[in-house]
Structure 1
Amino acid sequence: MERDTTGEGLGRLSRRAYLAAAGGAAVALSGCLVRGEAGERGLEGRVVVDGSNTLLPHGAAVAEEFQWRNNRVQIPVRGSGTGAGFQRFCSGDTDFQNASREIVEDEEAICGDNDVEYLELETALDGVAIWVHPDNHWCDTLTVEEIHRLWRSGSDVETWGDLREEWADEPWGDESISLYGRDPASGTFDYFTQAINGEVGNIRSDYSASADTNVIVRGVRGDRYALGFGGAGYYYENEDELKLVAVDDDNDGVRPTRETIESGEYTPLSRAMLLYVSVPALARPEVRAFAEFYFEEIDDDADDSVVEGDETLTWTQWAARRVGFYGIPDETVEAGREKLAEAIETVEEEPQ
């Protein structure tokens, strides 16, 4: 069956479009993919995915491609947030958990109480970006120390002049900095506060917090003196309405791009995005096949606009680039593939 791979069809959505389709909560792709193929293995069933709102588009893109090739498998992908998603995953309510941070001790305990053994896999790379209003002509680079002083709990930085002494006598020096960022239920919040302030949850209380990065984007683009943080992909979807700030980690300032994130040059705000797989659920053929699909090479039906030269991508690398993240290294792909194969060997396959 022919399929549109030009990027114009229903199934080819940007990160923003995936989130719009989600209504902020879920992408129920099984309801959209009324075509496709049953697949040689005749897989059927339901696979449930929840977790990070940031990583939602990546999981949705992989699920879309899998369902096209196995149209009797339904995969609703939700983005309840990393913390809320772990509550469901560790209670045994979901099969896969997208996470923008590692599982924490309290969540591990819930998994243990419910006999949910899990597998942690890296599936994408992301950078947390700092952005300001496009009319902000003075702030091109901030040091890690300046970002720390601005965002730490108990910060006394109120104006642009407070942030950098040389700005104090400028016309904008007395202007208050309006701050926008992710809320405490977000894995992005956890990562940012740990990387910048040395402790998860260490952040000033007087900023506008949101569970939706698009709200942060709108807040900054509507205020000349604002500053916010969020996934780098959101900046690249709004380049005309935001200005990207370089982060100086004793390296003269680096902006998050595919090259600087995939090479590890953008520090300390590059991070691995994670997928947690329920090991008991791997006994179901449809769950096992979907997990393996992440690390299989893309086929000729894949949109090749994100493929550079003669490189060979797996579905997780392809989906990462497709929706504004960045691909994990090939050695990480191989490590994940081996880790998954070992876990699959430990479970007894359920008959279809």
Structure 2
Amino acid sequence: MDIEQSRDDNSSSRSRRQFLLAAGGSLTAGLAGCLVRGDETDLEGEIRVDGSNTVLPHAAALAEEFQWRNNRVRIPVRGSGTGAGFQRFASGETHIQNASREITDDEQALCEQNGVEFIELEAVLDGIAIWVHPDNDWCDCLTVEQLQAIWEPNSEVETWHDVDDEWPDEEIRLYGRDSASGTFDYFTEAINGSYGAIRSDYSGTPDTNVIVRGVRGNEYAMGFGGAGYYYENEDELKLVGIDDGDGCIEPTRETIESGEYTPLSRPMFAYVNTNELERTEFREYLRFFFAEVDDRADRSVVEDGEELTWTQWAARRVGFYAIPDLTVDESRESLEDTISRIQ
């Protein structure tokens, strides 16, 4: 059944994990459904959202805020995974597809085959973090070349000593996302040069929390996942900086939003079925992404003198990072141009 919800306008922000739990507990009926309280407006209808499990908390935060202001609009949010979500989106089952990578040629062809036209909107920034066990006192930073040597197909790296002669001669236990994940796709392309290029003997999972548990349970382990998961577990993990030629840099709000953290900073996307833009509630929900936050928003993630749009605000609220203002302007313009052509 739908979640019945009331709230205090001054409620504190939720973590990414809390949004995941909220969404995970309502996958069948959808997140937040029809709110018991909130603003009643003329908008009414259903907007179905699916896609990346990584982007799910951001989508859940946006859906919650919009539904609170328009409580007759229902926005079920799922996180089936980028690949699985694109299959549903391309068949017309869903209206918005969240993706932690860009759409592939095969997925575009499937959309075209089924008459699903779309636009791509950049919605959020993320950083993929490398983490190790907190008792690991030898590895504080890795070069991109070292990461490639560890993770590439047919890698000859088995122990930490194979990476650096001064490091322990102990097997590296590797944990990461599985091949259904957009995070997997982005990581393998950024580090090893193409989607899916990775050694076969690592432990792959669709759930980043499993990666966290695996690494914190083994002194010699290493894992990769969204940086927000590290910051939710920083007492139990150690963050490894990445040297892409300009020194060792860790993923933080500043280094990701400025573009300094390379090559593992990435944009993540919302793909919009433009056939649905004839519906008023659908247009207004998408415009909400790029509207400035109102005075009822939790402003703990807003810096002094800063103005954020809802997509930027939601990103920070759940442990992601805000897209640049220029990207907001470009995405808003793309959306409005598409709406103008349809109306």
Do these two structures clear the TM 0.5 threshold for a shared fold by scoring above it?
yes
Match of 1:170 in 2: none
Match of 2:202 among 199, 202, 207: 207
Whether 1:248 and 2:246 are equivalent positions in the alignment is no
Matching of residues 279-318 of structure 1 within 5 Å = 279-318=274-313
Which deviates the most, 17-26 or 47-56?
17-26
- What amino acid sits opposite 2:305 in the alignment? D
Query: Secondary structure of the residue that 2:246 maps to in structure 1?
Result: coil
| Residue 14 (structure 1) aligns with | 15
Structure 1 letter corresponding to 2:310: W
Say whether the 8 Å CA contact 1:152–1:204 is kept in structure 2.
yes
| AA matched with 1:212 | D
Aligned to 1:275: 270
How many angstroms apart in 2 are the aligned matches of 1:196 and 1:64? 35
Provide Cα deviations, 1:283-339, integer angstroms capped at 9, x if missing partner: 111111111100000001100000100111000000000000000111110111100
Contact 1:130 1:246 in 2 (8 A): yes
Q: What is the match of residue 342 of structure 1?
A: 337
Do 1:24 and 1:79's aligned partners in 2 also have CA atoms closer than 8 Å? no
Deviation per CA, 1:135-155, whole angstroms, max 9, x where unpaired?
101100000000000000000
Contact 1:3 1:301 in 2 (8 A): no
Deviation at 1:4, TM superposition (A): 1.9
Determine the C-alpha separation between the residues in 1 that align with 2:137 and 2:221. 12
For 1:257, the equivalent position in structure 2 comes to: 252
CA displacement at 1:25 relative to structure 2: 7.9
Tell me what 1:122 maps to.
Answer: 122
Question: What is the total number of aligned residue pairs between the two structures?
Answer: 337
Contact kept in structure 2, 1:131 and 1:229, CA below 8 Å: yes
Deviation of residue 347 (structure 1)? 1.6
Q: CA deviation at 1:346?
A: 1.8
Q: Determine whether 1:36 maps to 2:31.
A: no
| Letter matched to residue 8 of structure 2 | D
CA contact (8 A) 2:34 2:71 kept: no
**2:23 partner amino acid:** A
Does the 8 Å contact 2:301/2:313 carry over to 1? yes
Structure 1: stretches of 5+ with no match in the other structure:
168-172
1:178 aligns with 2:182: no
Q: Work out the CA distance in 1 between the residues paired with 2:191 and 2:9.
A: 41
- Secondary structure in 1 aligned to 2:249? coil
Q: Which amino acid aligns with 1:136?
A: N
The separation in 2 between residues aligned to 1:225 and 1:276, in whole angstroms, is 39
- Provide the rounded CA distance (Å) in 1 between the counterparts of 2:26 and 2:51: 10
Distance apart, 1:24 and its partner CA: 7.8
Among all aligned residue pairs of Structure 1 and Structure 2, give the percentage whose two residues are the same amino acid.
Answer: 66
1:174 to partner: Cα distance: 1.9
Q: Hey, what does 2:71 align to over in structure 1?
A: 71
Post-superposition shift, 1:5? 3.7
| Correspondence for 1:329 | 324
- Rounded to whole Å, the distance in 1 between the matches of 2:160 and 2:178 is 23
- In the other structure, the counterpart of 1:23 is 24
Summarize the Cα distance change of 1:263–1:156 in structure 2 as closer, same or farther, 3 Å threshold.
same
Looking at structure 2, the residues matched to 85 and 198 of structure 1 have their Cα atoms a distance apart, in angstroms, of 24
Counterpart contact for 2:290–2:328, Cα < 8 Å = yes
Show the counterpart of 1:58.
58
- Which amino acid in 2 is paired with 1:328? I
Give the CA deviation at 1:32: 6.8
Q: Whole-Å Cα distance in 1 between the matches of residues 273 and 25 of structure 2? A: 25
In 2, distance between residues paired with 1:25 and 1:246?
36
Partners of 1:84 and 1:24 lie apart in 2 by 19
Give SS of 2:248's match. Answer: coil
2-structure distance, mates of 1:144, 1:46: 44
* 8 Å CA contact 1:120, 1:276 repeated in 2: yes
Query: In structure 2, what is the equivalent of residue 94 of structure 1?
Result: 94
1:189 lines up with 2:190 in the alignment? no
Report the 3-state secondary structure (helix = DSSP H, G, I; strand = E; otherwise coil) of the residue aligned with 2:200. coil
Note the C-alpha offset of 1:21.
2.2
Q: What is the RMSD of the two structures over their aligned residues, measured on CA atoms?
A: 1.4
How big is the shift at 1:6?
Answer: 3.6
